[in-house]
Each structure stands twice: as structure tokens, then as C-alpha cells.
Amino acid sequence: MKRLIPAALLLLAVSAHADNYSLPKHAVFEEECASCHMAFPPQMLHADSWRAMMGDLAHHFGSDASLDEKRRVAITDFLVTHAGGRKTGTTRDASGKPLLRITETARFEKKHREIAPATWKRASIKSPANCTACHARAAAGDYSERSINIPK
């Protein structure tokens, strides 16, 4: 028993200084939500945002991402269960509607304040939603500075 304590403390210390965006396991989510882009961490949006997005998958950022009802409900439950809390910052637009983009949340904007508008538009990046262009280990939930590389 005694030997478990230092390991537990170490784990606490690690999670206290780095946000954990590792992806909770969910087979249906991985199948359906990681084909057009990487699987975005549920922790990065508020539950209201996930509900709003999952309520209109036929008009998903210009794509049709519709699912059968069983899968839609299973994924919604998963996203809502792991959704981010206050740490995501403002998650509603000026009219009070839930934001649908992680890249429009106050927290995202704050973390990426130093990136120039022209950088987002580079051919190697294309969109702020293309996390893996700069965060090599994004799919593993690792956004730490040591794995950031902004492509030319």
C-alpha cells in the first residue's frame, strides 16, 4: 500500500499544472466524429454547445454529419458527460446562443492570442480547427508547448 502513495501524488502534481484533454474512450464517438477531422476533446465545449451541435448534424459547418438516432443519442450523452465547465470561458455568442466552435470560445482565443490572423490562413494550416497542424500530439490530448510546431 505504502508504495502507491508517491505515484498518486505525482499524478496529482502533473494534472495540476497541465490541463488534461486526453480523450475518454468511446467507440461510437471515435467512429463517427473522427473521420473528417480529429476527435475534438469533449472537455473543450460546454454541454449546451454539444447539445446544440448534436441537434443539427445535417447542417454541420456546411457538411452533412447526420447519424441514426441511436448513435446520435449515445454520442450526445458521451459529450455532455465529459463537457467542459467554466474553464472553457464564454461559450455563448452575443445573442446568447451556445457557441458551436471550440475555436470561438474565450479560452481558445486567450491561448492563441499571439497567433497572427494571416498565420491561420497558411496553406499548411487552413483553419484554426486544424489543431494537428501545430499540435503534433493533439490526437493524444497533448497540447503542451514542447509539442507545438507552427508550420511555414
Length of the chain: 152
Residues 95-124 that bind ligand HEC (CB under 6 A): 101-103, 111-112, 114-115, 119
* Residue 82 neighbours by CB distance under 10 Å: 18
| Residue 60 engages ligand HEC in binding (rule: CB under 6 A) | yes
How many residues at the interface with ligand HEC, by CB under 6 A?
35
Nearer to ligand HEC, 7 or 100 (CB): 100
User: Three-state SS for 60?
Assistant: strand
| Residue 23 engages ligand HEC in binding (rule: CB under 6 A) | no
Longest pairwise C-alpha distance within the chain: 55
Distance of CA 77 to the CA centre of its chain: 16
Phi, psi of 110 (to 5 degrees): -65, -45
| Residue 143 engages ligand HEC in binding (rule: CB under 6 A) | yes
Nearer to ligand HEC, 9 or 30 (CB): 30
Nearest alpha-carbon partner for 134 in 122, 84, 61: 122
Distance of CA 61 to the CA centre of its chain: 16
| Least gap, CB of 66 to ligand HEC (angstroms) | 9
Place of cell 499540435: 135
| Least gap, CB of 106 to ligand HEC (angstroms) | 13
| Residue 75 engages ligand HEC in binding (rule: CB under 6 A) | yes
Could you list the residues that contact ligand HEC (CB under 6 A)?
32-33, 35-37, 40, 44, 60-63, 65, 75, 101-103, 111-112, 114-115, 119, 125, 127-131, 133-135, 143-145, 148, 150
